Amino acid sequence: MFPIQILIREGETPGSKKLETSLKEKAEKLERYCKKIQRCKIVVDIEQKHQRRGRPFSVHIDLHVPNKMLSATQTNTSLWAAVRDAFAASRKQLLHYAGRRHHHISLQHHRNAMLNGKGETLQSAA
How far is residue 55's CA from residue 57's CA, in Å, rounded to a whole number?
Answer: 7
Does domain 4-117 sit in CATH 1.10.3720.10?
A: no
pLDDT tens per residue across span 57-71: 999 999 999 999 999
Strand partners, 121: 115
Q: How much is the pTM?
A: 0.74
| Residue-wise pLDDT tens digits, 8-49 | 887 555 567 889 999 999 999 999 988 999 999 999 998 766
Closest CA to 34 of 73, 66, 72, 82: 66
CA geometry: angle at 91 spanning 85 and 94, to 5°?
145
Residue 51 scores a pLDDT above 60: no
Mean pLDDT of 101-109: 51
- The domain ranges of the chain are 4-117
